[in-house]
């Protein structure tokens, strides 16, 4: 079942992390020692043809949201201000405080983002967040505090909107067996 993950990238810590692992990919060889699950490592190597991966994280308090997100079935929307500026289809996810600390260090609360998401590619675009909020039945100016995952039927409508309105920008991204 497709899901849509909503993630804001607004505070200074998040914006710094985005520059390092979301706006440019990381070569798998630099994180390989943290990928202790052989199946995850092999899946990433298979999916990431160029040997690179985009990475994002969330605090472990958002673990319950991650149970709604399945590889190749979850479209992440990244918002800065009132605009969604990136989207990516989840390739794999892990929990690793060690990798999170290596990638991003600790935030102002003394925590790291141990819930880690991997993406084969990131597509830059510009969609008003208010459009997605409207589809989801949120207030127009909702700022998505923390990581939020929405399942069908709302997720289907968001995916349909993005594909329909921004097909040129999404290019070859796919969600499971849906094109």
User: According to the model, what pLDDT value does residue 162 have?
Assistant: 84
Find, among 73, 57, 38, the residue nearest to 118 by Cα: 57
Q: Are 177 and 1 in contact (CB under 8 A)?
A: no
pLDDT tens per residue across span 26-44: 999 999 999 999 999 999 9
pLDDT bin (cut points 50, 70, 90) of residue 14 is: very high
Q: Which of 3-17, 108-122, 158-172 is the least confident region? A: 158-172
Query: Can you tell me which residue has the tokens 């440019």?
Result: 24
More confident residue, 178 or 156: 156
Cβ(9)–Cβ(80) below 8 Å:
yes
- What is the per-residue pLDDT across 107-162, written as a single tens digit (0 to 9) for each? 999 999 999 999 999 988 889 999 999 999 999 999 888 899 999 899 999 999 88
Give the count of alpha carbons within 13 A of 26, CB side only: 22
Average pLDDT rounded to a whole number, residues 6-17: 93
Cα separation, 33 vs 77, in Å, equals 28
Query: DSSP E strands: which ranges in 9-165?
Result: 26-27, 52-58, 74-80, 83-95, 115-119, 123-128, 148-151
In the predicted model, what is the mean pLDDT of the chain?
Answer: 90
Domains in the chain, please, with CATH?
3-170 (3.10.590)
pLDDT for res 171: 52
Instruction: With a cut of 80, say whether residue 105 has pLDDT above it.
Output: yes
Give me the helix-helix angle, 12-21 and 97-104, nearest 10°. 90
Note the pTM of the prediction, 2 decimals.
0.90
Q: Residue 81 pLDDT more than 70?
A: yes
Q: Is the pLDDT of residue 84 over 80?
A: yes
Average pLDDT over residues 4-21: 93
């Amino acid at each position: 079942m497709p899901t849509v993950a909503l993630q804001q990238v607004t505070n200074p810590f998040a914006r710094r992390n985005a520059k390092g692992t979301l706006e440019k990919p990381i070569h798998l060889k630099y994180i390989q020692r943290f990928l202790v699950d052989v199946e995850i490592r092999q899946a990433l190597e298979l999916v990431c043809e160029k040997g690179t991966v985009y990475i994002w994280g969330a605090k472990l308090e958002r673990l319950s949201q991650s149970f709604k997100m399945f590889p190749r079935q979850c479209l992440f929307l990244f918002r800065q201000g009132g605009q969604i500026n990136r989207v990516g289809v989840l390739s794999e996810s892990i929990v690793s405080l060690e990798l999170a600390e290596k990638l991003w260090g600790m935030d102002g609360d003394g925590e790291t983002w141990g819930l880690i998401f991997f993406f084969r590619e990131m597509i830059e675009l510009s969609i008003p967040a208010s459009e997605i909020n409207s589809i989801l039945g949120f207030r127009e100016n909702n700022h998505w505090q923390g990581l939020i995952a929405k399942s069908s039927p709302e997720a289907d409508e968001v995916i349909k909107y993005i594909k329909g309105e921004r097909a040129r920008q999404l290019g070859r991204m796919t969600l499971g067996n849906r094109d």
